[in-house]
Amino acid sequence: MHLFDRATNFHGGNAIVGGGLPMAVGLSLAEKMQGSGVITACFFGEGAAAEGEFHESLNLAALWELPVLFVCENNLYAMGTALALSESETDIQRKAACYRIAAETVDGMDVVAVEAAARRAVHAVRDNGKPYFLECRTYRLRAHSMFDAQLYRDKAEVEAWRQRGPIVRFQGWLEANHMIQPDDLKTIEAAVEAEIAEAVAFSEAGTWEPVDELTRFTYAEKNA
């Protein structure tokens, strides 16, 4: 949640619901003022649409014509609250239209459809320099956290959505279009399992952070 890598222009996640939206607007404004041609992409869940930052950010992005791509990952449940119980308008992309921002909805469980929609969105932002809103309608297959008993939804609902999982559907699409063979899948799965095992081993072999380093990156460091 708090990862950050300036070298790759990844400006980090945010523990506050909707907190990344105003940050994205600020970053986009900076890029516009510098004339860099860079597009800022901001990802957030549908729960953020109920926050004030959502509306403030969309309003300023539209008013200042900022090159920012808003991507709402609508998985129907903000932690444990169903979208229909928290929003009078459950069609999230319509909220963007209120601020005169070009918007569209895409099946977030379809990898190919999401890629195509993302390409259209990026092209539109690059073409006119204005914001774009993409709502990816998807589903959270697992619990929100290890303490989530998932009492707010039926197991049958989860299993029904699991059959439409993006990996399952993308694999089916590749096979149907003769773009992958069974041996290719085995190779990919083996490589992924090996990468995960290597990451786990690296983490478990890690040492504790030195006490004198605990506040590093918490505050800005003075230049020598």
Domain 6-153: assigned CATH number: 3.40.50.970
- Amino acid occupying residue 196: I
Residue 158 is predicted with a pLDDT of 94
The pLDDT value recorded for residue 22 is 96
Q: Which two tokens stand for residue 51?
A: 């926050």
Q: What is the pLDDT of residues 84-138, one digit of tens each?
A: 998 999 999 999 999 999 999 999 999 999 999 999 999 999 999 999 999 999 9
pLDDT of residue 5: 86
- Please give the average pLDDT of every successive group of 10 residues along the chain, which has 224 residues: 84 87 96 95 94 96 98 93 91 94 97 97 96 97 90 94 94 93 93 98 92 82 70
| pLDDT at residue 58 in the model | 98
Kindly list the domain boundaries of the chain, sorted by start residue: 6-153
What's the pLDDT at 224? 57
What pLDDT score was predicted for residue 213? 86
- The pLDDT > 70 percentage for the chain reads 99
CA gyration radius, the chain: 20
- Whole-model pTM: value is 0.87
